[in-house]
Amino acid sequence: MLKVGCQTYTWEMLGDGWKGKVDDMLDAVAGAGYEGIEITNSMIREYAGRPREFAAALKHRGLKLSAFAYASSAGLTKPEARANELQGADEAIRFVVEFPGVVLALGGASTPERTDVDRKIGLAADFYNEVGERGKRAGVPVAFHPHSHHGSIFESRAEYQRIMELTDPAVVGWNPDTGHIVRGGQDLVDTIRTFGSRINHVHLKDADSSNHWQRLGKGVCDIPTTLKVLEDELNYHGWVVGEEESEEAHRDQNAAIRNNREYLRSLGY
């Protein structure tokens, strides 16, 4: 049976407009009925460097850590930023190692200008492979998460194919995101099937035909079929994590994640 978690980008996307604390997010996620929470290196905030205290906070609310997401503002495509990016990844590994089996999800690569894209995909692949090796030594599974925001270099099928070819499946898994796949112009279910052997973590998001984010079930992403393919064809029984970036979520984060949880319950999860 799939395990259902909630991603904290629902709050992170507000930037300085959100004044809460990590415990506020934990309370909201637990109250909405999720089994786990995926938190990012930006949102770990007062629990940064304190994994055991964070584990206690999760346990107090009946939650598990579904994944820890690490992203770099430099986009993984600038050689001059590589040392700092690896240092950040090492800090993330030291945190995640306290949660056996939890995936470290690495953010998608991006660039201000979509020039020399193949070389930049190679730089991102080098980063993923290096962190994957470091994660393997520490016992932390690693995945990469392509996105479709401005400047992304993982959107098209050719770009997905290239990063898959350049990364080592022995140390680097794939964290597909339903909404980003569709916004990148790909067929969702076909993409999941094509690269399904690499999946070790999943994000569920929805978007409409104009590429605007919608809450789950209100867009064009075929979430029901995706979940069926994951379970029945790919024998995937890990975490599926709802992530909400719609205008509704901007207005009311707690209501947005409750709506997503209710939708997934309606599908039997």
> What is the per-residue pLDDT across 220-257, written as a single tens digit (0 to 9) for each?
999 999 999 999 999 999 999 999 999 999 999 999 99
Q: Supply the pLDDT for residue 115.
A: 87
Residues 6+ apart with CB under 8 A from 258: 31, 32
- The number of distinct structural domains making up the chain is 1
Query: Which among 252, 191, 194, 188 has a CA at the least distance from the CA of 220?
Result: 188
**pLDDT > 90? residue 137:** yes
| Mean of per-residue pLDDT scores for the chain | 97
Residue-number span of the structural domain to which 240 is assigned: 3-266
| pLDDT number for residue 169 | 98
The per-residue pLDDT for 5 is 98
| pLDDT of amino acid 135 | 98
Q: Is the pLDDT of residue 159 over 90?
A: yes
What CATH number does residue 43 fall under? Answer: 3.20.20.150
pTM of the complete model:
0.97
Residue 114 has pLDDT above 90, yes or no: no
Phi, psi of 30 (to 5 degrees): -65, -40
